[in-house]
Structures are given as structure tokens and as C-alpha cells.
Amino acid sequence: MLKMFSSLPRICATLALAIGCQQITLSAATPDQAAASLAQTALTNSGAMEILASLTTEIGPRLAGSAAEKRAAGWAVERFKKYGFDKVWTETFPLPHGWARGVEQAEITSPAPQPLTVTALGGSVATPLQGIEAEIALFKTYDELLAMPSNSLAGKIAVVTQPMIRAQDGAGYGALNKMRTAGPAEAARRGAVAYLLRSLGTDTHRVPHTGGTHYAADAPPIPAAALSVPDAEQLDRLVALGKPVRISLKLTPHDLGPITSQNVIAEIKGREKPDEIVLLGAHLDSWDLGTGAIDDGAGVAIVMAATKMIRDLPVPPRRTIRVVLFGSEEPGVIGGKAYAEVHQAELSHYVITAEPDLGQGPVYRFQTGVANPDEPTLQRIRATLLPLGVLPGDNSSHGESDVGPLAMQHVPAVTLELDATDYFDLHHTPDDTFDKVKPERINQSTAAYVAFTYLAAELAGDYRQPATAPAK
Ligand SMILES: [Zn+2]
């Protein structure tokens, strides 16, 4: 308690000449109250919707390494400068394989000719220009494919139709992710000439979900695409009738070769501990089919809106707040890995990191990944988040996507878990558009972020020292 109130005179002294000081001191006697007040404001109008509308409308889809992704970076730089951030800069990094989508067509040629709805996986190679026509080998689970001996699929198109489970924490995606990222390489190892999977999605629309895939050095790269859920179920029924099923597939994506991408970085300098950094991330790139509203435009809007609210306070918090809008997350966290490498020498200054990359929210749980989950300022953060509907979680956070490489190098991380129950209905599809985002959901997420970020920067807790460590 003593610590809580001891910060007050200093804030007021600094605020003595600032317009609005009186209001702030009346409505926010403690940092906890200031955070709660910021969160209340965010619940009704965080500014996140305006940011998201601008990004998804004025820029649109933002494929990794594309001219549109570069325009998005310029858009972000301009916004952060307009918001009055103390420092705004861009860091360029190489992207080994730029990729652009082409034609994507598939049809059943026998025994019941009809079209199929597919989309190429990001990074897929093209089919020959005339396409590939072959018998399929259909597996109801990914493990069934993995159980096949080498060369057993020679000349066939491998198809995996395992459904994804809907879950609030998005665990259904994690459980099946390898079916997309490693499936083509596993099918190629067994002799397949192409690979189709049931989309990693929880909707039943005739809309396929794209997403990145990775080839292996010991297997030839084969064309790979996702079927919409109804098309995958159509194939399940047709194969169950017992006749061989043949499919023709035509994909014409291009490998653009080595190009560049970039991370955009912006800072609010801490008033007392400028070298201590609270780092928030989100990723600016998106897949090309939709406009990347929920993945990860929502995350960009949440961190930009939350930090703009803190920037607008008459006095900044004690610690520096750094926002990193990463480039090229979708092809494999390329921007996140590049950032962790370039900033290696300063990682010990990062006091905590967080990233929203699972849609619009709301935030329903606060997970930590720290040395001392019972540290008193974390308890105060939990107490401030609870009235927003955010439950305390456990200490198993490893940081989301782009900040994962930082967490792997022992930067303390938290996850303000976004409710992902309906996220995978839209994820990586043409339906990932602005109209799907609801103000009350993204505002609540921004409220949780602004409260957490303000308190982490203002209370200056140490999340690296185990509570049981001997006193220095
Ligand atoms: Zn994402």
C-alpha cells in the first residue's frame, strides 16, 4: 500500500502545470485507479475500430513482403508520429521467398465429375501448367497419413480430411497445425504428387482457409491446397462409396525469390526508467484472401489504440512502452525472429512482453509466463482486469507468435487470452474482413490491454526474479 501511494506526489508534482491535472488527481488517486479509468474509457470508445477501419480499407490485404505490406508499414509510421510517440522507426529484414497467389482450380474428374473449392497454401509450388490429374488417397486423420510407409502414395494426390475442434483458447488449431505446415512434405516423402487438406477452420461455409506450409529438404516440394469444409466432407462421402476417386488440380502461384519486409517500432519514453521496456507486439502482414481484419488487424488496432491512450495522458508512465508491428509473421514469424536477433543485446532490458494475435477478443483470461507469478504488482494487474471479465490464469504463457522468440530467450511474457471460439470460422479466409469485428469486443480487448500496459509500465514490478531467490 505504501508503495502505491508513494508514487502519487511525484505524479502530481510533474502534473502541476499540466492542463487536466486536477481532473486526473481527483479521478485517479492511485495507478490502479488510473488504469481502471483508462479501461472504462476504452470500453466505450477505445479508438480501435477507427484504426482497424483505416488499415483494412485504406491498405487492404497485406501479404508478407508485398508492396501492400510496405504501404501498411508507412501507414503505421505516419500514425505513430501523428499520435506523438517519442521515437518511430522501421527495421528492414530479408524474406528468403516472396510468394504470390495465382490461379487455383480443382475438380473431381471421376466417378462423379464436379468442381471443388480450394485455395493454395502459402508458399506452395505450382502444378504443371496443364495441372495434375490423379487418383486420391484419402485419410480421415493426419496420423493415418503418417502411418503410411514410404513410397506407398506414389503417383497419388494425398487428401487429409481431419476436422478441427472449436475451442475458446484456439487449441484445436494448435493440435492440427502440422497437418498444414508439414503435411505436404510428409505426403511427398511417401511419393504423393500433390496434397489437399480439409481447411483448418471451424465454419461450414464453402470457403477454404489458406495458411503457410513448409517443405523439407529430403522430399520434393509438391503443390498443396486447402479444401473448404463442405468440399472435404463431399470427398469423404464419395470415397466411402468404394470407387476410386480422381481429382484434377491446377495451381499457378509464383515464388518471387528473395525480397524484403519490415518491422515498425514506436516508443513512449518512460519518465523515470527509460531503459526498462514493456514491449507490445502485433503483426501487420496478413494473408491475401481477406483484408486481415481479425488476423491480425485487430491486434494492431488493440495495441495502437491502447498505447495512444497512454500517450495522451499528461504524464507518461515510469517505464518505456515499445510497440513493435511485425512484418511477415504468416510465412513463419520471420519478422519476430529477425527482431529477436537484431535486438539480442538489449533483451535484458525487456521487463515484460505481450501480443494480441488471436482475433478481436474479448480477453477472458490473464496468463503469465514469469519467474514469480505471485509478484505483488501482478496481483494488482489481475485485480484491475477482473472487473473487465478477465479471469486469472496460470503461469504457462510462452508469448504469442511474434514475441515468442523473445519469450524463448527468457523475456517474461504474458498472454491476455482472446476468446477464439469463432476466430477459426474466419481465419485466413476471404471472410476475414472489417464487418466481422464488433466494437464491444475489440473495445473490451483494448481496455484489458491499456490497463495491463499502464500498470506494467507504472508499477515497475520485476518479473525476472523468482520469489524464492536469496536476497542480493
Ligand atoms: Zn496472426
Tens digits of residue pLDDT in 192-215: 999 999 999 999 999 999 999 999
Model pLDDT, residue 81:
98
Considering the domain delimited by 2-97+258-459, tell me its CATH architecture.
3-Layer(aba) Sandwich (3.40)
Q: Which listed CATH number (3.40.50.10490, 2.80.10.50, 3.50.30.30, 3.40.190.10) goes with 102-252? A: 3.50.30.30
Ligand 1 center to residue 275 CA distance, Å?
Answer: 29
Give percent of the chain with pLDDT exceeding 90.
91
Ligand 1 center to residue 454 CA distance, Å?
Answer: 24
Domains in the chain: boundaries: 2-97+258-459, 102-252
**Phi, psi for residue 144 in degrees, rounded to 5:** -65, -40
Q: Provide the pLDDT confidence category of residue 467 given band limits of 50, 70 and 90.
A: low
In whole angstroms, give the CA distance from residue 47 to residue 53.
Answer: 10
Average pLDDT rounded to a whole number, residues 293-313: 98
Over 90: is that where the pLDDT of 393 sits?
A: yes
Model pLDDT, residue 280:
98
In whole angstroms, give the CA distance from residue 262 to residue 282.
Answer: 13
Model pLDDT, residue 465:
77
Model pLDDT, residue 274:
98
Residue carrying the nine cell digits 508469448: 399
Ligand 1 center to residue 284 CA distance, Å?
Answer: 9
How many contiguous H segments (helices) and E segments (strands) does the chain have? 15, 16
**Phi, psi for residue 277 in degrees, rounded to 5:** -115, 125
Ligand 1 center to residue 295 CA distance, Å?
Answer: 5
Average pLDDT rounded to a whole number, residues 285-308: 98
Model pLDDT, residue 129:
95
Model pLDDT, residue 400:
84
Q: Provide the pLDDT confidence category of residue 427 given band limits of 50, 70 and 90.
A: very high
Ligand 1 center to residue 452 CA distance, Å?
Answer: 21
In whole angstroms, give the CA distance from residue 404 to residue 157.
Answer: 35
| Residues near ion ligand 1 (Cβ under 5 Å) | 295-296, 357
Ligand 1 center to residue 287 CA distance, Å?
Answer: 9
**Phi, psi for residue 135 in degrees, rounded to 5:** -75, 150
Ligand 1 center to residue 115 CA distance, Å?
Answer: 30
**Among 5-14, 244-253, 359-368, whose mean pLDDT is lowest?**
5-14
Model pLDDT, residue 324:
98
Over 90: is that where the pLDDT of 468 sits?
A: no
Ligand 1 center to residue 106 CA distance, Å?
Answer: 27
If one counts every other C-beta atom within 10 angstroms of the C-beta of residue 327, the result is 32
Q: Provide the pLDDT confidence category of residue 2 given band limits of 50, 70 and 90.
A: very low
pTM: 0.93
Average pLDDT rounded to a whole number, residues 35-58: 98
- In the three-class reduction of DSSP (H, G, I as helix; E, B as strand; rest coil), residue 203 is classed as coil
Ligand 1 center to residue 244 CA distance, Å?
Answer: 38
Ligand 1 center to residue 398 CA distance, Å?
Answer: 16
**Phi, psi for residue 255 in degrees, rounded to 5:** -90, 120
CB-based burial label for 392 (10 Å; 0-12, 13-18, 19+): middle
Over 90: is that where the pLDDT of 29 sits?
A: no
Over 60: is that where the pLDDT of 11 sits?
A: no
Q: Which of 453, 450, 415 is nearest to 318 (CA)?
A: 453
Ligand 1 center to residue 301 CA distance, Å?
Answer: 13
Give percent of the chain with pLDDT exceeding 70.
93
Over 80: is that where the pLDDT of 21 sits?
A: no
Model pLDDT, residue 5:
35
